[in-house]
Amino acid sequence: MIPEESRRHAKAAQAVREGRPVAARYVRGGRRGARVLAILVASTAAVAVLLLAIWAAANGVFINQNPTDAQQAADARAFDEAGPPAPDVATAAAAVSD
């Protein structure tokens, strides 16, 4: 009795020698099954958990990046309440001469 693997190889090799297309069932590397799907699902879940952990670890760093937020808001408020600046003498003289 000939093992199935060598028979698959012989059929694929014969088709190549004759110039015919090789059927997918002879050249497929793996067999169908739920094992590959389980590995794909598990690895995708592991990557999602890892990315979530990295984000959670780095999120605190970004929150505390700028400790002077309150002071910056007060500085901006002072500029908003001041109104437009008064023109200086050179600007006023140039406007009059035009």
pLDDT in tens, the chain (98 residues): 455 556 777 877 888 888 888 777 777 766 666 788 889 999 999 999 999 998 888 877 666 666 676 777 777 777 776 666 666 766 666 666 65
pTM, two decimals, is 0.38
Q: Tell me the torsion sign for CA atoms 35, 37, 40, 45.
A: negative
* pLDDT tens sequence across 37-49: 889 999 999 999 9
* Cβ-contact 26, 15 below 8 angstroms: yes
Burial class (CB in 10 A: 0-12, 13-18, 19+), 12: middle
Q: Tell me the torsion sign for CA atoms 38, 44, 46, 49.
A: negative
